[in-house]
Structure 1
Amino acid sequence: MRQLNQVELVGETVRACVEALAASAPDWVTARLDGGWQRRYGARVDSWRMPSSKTKRVALGADYARNGAALLAARCGTRPPRRGWRNCPQSGSCNGS
């Protein structure tokens, strides 16, 4: 089993949350996330090659972080909580429950 690097780990975390939300609250996901999310997070992050350029990897990591923050904000209805999903008033976990 190969170890994920930091960028892959952040991207895979966002992908797993989108997948869990799509399974548990498909109408919520459809209403809030456009097709770009499906293209970026439809496949596991480790199933494609990371950019070879450090600058591009840093930019990709920043995109993942922005998307994760936007997902938290959309799910919580406010600015993202400092400590993640557990403190989100509408959900106890990333699965949207």
Structure 2
Amino acid sequence: MGHTAQKQHTVTGHHALNEWRHNVDKLNKAQNADAERVQKVTRNAVEIRRIESRSERIKQFQVTIRQGASIKNDKGVVHSNHQMAANLERSEEVDFAVKAES
């Protein structure tokens, strides 16, 4: 009878070990999913920051264009607007370059 109890105990131990392995597996999967989520959020945060900084630059350009437009000299205005457009274009190229790298 004692022998049977011993065998029963071994089976229970084996079952517990399997359950433990299963739980560890589940935990690992959950951690991996979390890591992926964190990566995604980080990527989004980087993207948001990039967009924010871009819209800041655009605002800055708009302000400068307005200031340029307030100059009475027509040539100054034209130069100012063209300069801003060129700067904006250049900043877009930089954005694309950054995107291509990431």
TMscore range, shorter length: 0.3 to 0.5
The higher relative CO (CA closer than 8 Å, separation ≥ 6) is in: 1
Q: Please identify which structure carries the higher helix content.
A: 2
User: Highest CA radius of gyration, 1 or 2?
Assistant: 2
